Chains A and B, each alone.
Chain A
Amino acid sequence: QVQLVQSGAEVKKPGASVKVSCKASGYTFTTKYIHWLRQAPGQGLEWMGIINPLGGSTSYAQNLQGRVTMTSDTSTTTVYMELSSLRFDDTAVYYCARDGTSIGSYPDYWGQGTLVTVSS
């Protein structure tokens, strides 16, 4: 069965960086893009970017360009999302999610979420 298992909760200070991992299993890792999304407390879903695990090509949301980096490791079937220069309003639950097709479309399977808290 398809599973995406994310790393645990993080508490960071403003200006720091955070790196969240997402280990995929139950399907051929290199055949599906992975999306990253986040949800601030009480708010809606925000799409952050997408990575093709085969080759590592990425596309990021315009408002996060320059602060977000997504990478993949095919040997461990893990993708990573690093967000730098953290601000208080980066406090959110961060999700990875597998793309439902092979061309970039809708997330079908989601990780459990990782809470990142930015606090001084």
Chain B
Amino acid sequence: DIQMTQSPSTLSASVGDRVSITCRASQSISGWLAWYQQKPGEAPKLLIYKASTLESGVPSRFTGSGSGTEFTLTISRLQPDDFATYYCQQYHSFSFTFGPGTKVDIK
């Protein structure tokens, strides 16, 4: 099974900051990675798929990068609506695993 890790587990930041979250896979997953945002009491929302493709309607301040085993989600200028938990998910070879999540909270 492919294991996913994320760092940091919690990130404290201010509105306007540039923040980055790292996701690592236990083996190469090529570019088969998605990123989600989840707010309390809500279902997750797809932000990015195939490592760097922005889902329709998602603001351009969200960018994804990486391939193989290391990936990054960057929010260029943090907005009040962006305080949430972020998850990565791999989907290589018909297996599916989520990372443990990164909570972005207000500094």
Contact = CB atoms under 8 A, between A and B. Distances in A.
A106 B49 contact: yes
Interface in A80-108: 95, 97, 100, 104-108
Given A105-B32, A106-B34, A106-B89, A47 B46 contact: no
Chain A interface size, under 10 / 10 to 19 / 20 to 34 / 35 or more: 20 to 34
A108 B94 contact: no
Contact of B55 (A35, A59, A95, A108): A108
Interface residues of B, number: 21
A111 interface: yes
Contacts of A104: 91, 94, 96
Nearest to A4: B43
Contact of B49 (A105, A111, A112): A105
B1 A100 contact: no
B44 A47 contact: no
A97 B89 CA distance: 14
B68 interface: no
A62 B1 contact: yes
B44 A110 contact: yes
A10 interface: no
A106 B43 contact: no
Interface stretch (B11-19, B20-28, B70-78, B97-105): B97-105
B83 interface: no
Interface string A29-40: 000000101000
11 contacts: A45-B36, A45-B89, A46-B98, A47-B98, A95-B43, A97-B43, A104-B91, A105-B34, A107-B46, A110-B43, A110-B44
